[in-house]
Amino acid sequence: MGGDRQSLAAPQTSPGALQLEFVSRNYMVGKNLVKALQPTNLVIEQGDFVAIMGHSGSGKTTLLNILGLLDVQSDGTYSVHGTDTAQLSQVERARLRRDTFGFVFQNFNLLERYTVLQNIELALMYQKVSAKAARQLAYDLLRQLGLSGKAEARPHQLSGGQAQRIAIARALINNPPIVLADEPTGNLDIEAANEVIGLFKALHAKGTTIVMVTHSSEVARSASRIVHMQSGRVISNEAVS
Ligand code: ADP
Ligand code: MG
């Protein structure tokens, strides 16, 4: 079963914020079954800062996408704050995703035809927030990130580090309790990576739960727990000392 240890800190009575029980994901590629994620048990506690490491193809993105409700497991049970996600309708699932997770990707995924400010505001499109309030929230976040001067810029005018900070602002505008980041520093130089990691640390200090895929053991040391994956399995899950 992946050989992972569930968090010992978890009180018996309270389920973790995110809980995988024997969750697996298979893909059919032509006639071949690819076992991207082997049956996995994993608990992410509220307030955790977990780094997921492993070689390319080891199942990190597959795991993160299931955690973020962007993908559905082939088998097993995935619960978010104690709710078995298999019980949810499509609408409930989308709502839970929107209210629970902020996403950060390696390639920033900013939309080039919009300004920086609009990119952040767009994240509120499906919320009951007025256009004026959305603009104010977006400006506030930009100011906090020291990027108010970039409000009217287009994404291509930003450095990688600035683009990723904007993408993080977009992920945070909903005030999500959990941020999922897939190799967020993968395209950044050391200086920009440090800035982004600094942001994650500050977020974590304020109580946000963070799950971050990374190739860098240096980046992973910022986390409080490191999960190692290999061939679709969690092979270790240990606190950072
Ligand atoms: P990582 O993020 O660790 O590089 P992934 O989770 O992306 O790994 O992929 C794990 C395995 O699943 C790989 O063998 C990959 O080729 C396969 N895989 C991932 N997504 C798909 C897909 N949509 N269709 C088929 N195979 C996939
Ligand atoms: Mg990946």
- Say how many Å lie between the CA of residue 55 and the centre of ligand 2: 9
Residue having the nearest C-alpha atom to atom 20 of ligand 1: 62
Burial class (CB in 10 A: 0-12, 13-18, 19+), 200: buried
Residue having the nearest C-alpha atom to atom 27 of ligand 1: 27
**What span, in angstroms and rounded, lies between the C-alpha atoms of 179 and 209?**
6
CA angle 33, 19, 55 (to 5 degrees): 50
**Structure confidence by residue, pLDDT tens digits, 33-91:** 999 999 999 999 999 999 999 999 999 999 999 999 999 999 999 999 999 999 999 99
Place of tokens 């920009």: 192
Query: In which band, very low, low, confident or very high, does the pLDDT at 15 lie, cut at 50, 70 and 90?
Result: low
Residue having the nearest C-alpha atom to atom 25 of ligand 1: 27
Query: In which band, very low, low, confident or very high, does the pLDDT at 3 lie, cut at 50, 70 and 90?
Result: very low
- Using the predicted structure, report yes or no on whether residue 1 has a pLDDT greater than 50: no
- Using the predicted structure, report yes or no on whether residue 7 has a pLDDT greater than 80: no
- Using the predicted structure, report yes or no on whether residue 9 has a pLDDT greater than 70: no
Cβ(40)–Cβ(19) below 8 Å: no
Minimum-distance ligand 1 atom for the alpha carbon of 62: 6
**Structure confidence by residue, pLDDT tens digits, 102-126:** 999 999 999 999 999 999 998 887 7
Residue having the nearest C-alpha atom to atom 1 of ligand 1: 57
Task: Give the residue, out of 35, 62, 228, with the most ligand 1 atoms within 8 A of its beta carbon, to mutate for a pocket test.
Answer: 62
What average pLDDT does the structure give for the chain? 91
Give ligand 1 pocket residues (Cβ under 6 A): 27, 29, 34, 36, 54, 56-62
At a CB cut-off of 8 Å and minimum separation 6, what does 225 contact?
Answer: 7, 48, 49, 50, 51, 237, 238, 239, 240
Place of tokens 């190739």: 215
Query: In which band, very low, low, confident or very high, does the pLDDT at 8 lie, cut at 50, 70 and 90?
Result: very low
| HSE of 159, CA atoms in CB hemisphere, 13 A | 12
Minimum-distance ligand 1 atom for the alpha carbon of 63: 6
**Structure confidence by residue, pLDDT tens digits, 60-70:** 999 999 999 99
Give the mean model confidence (pLDDT) for residues 154-165: 94
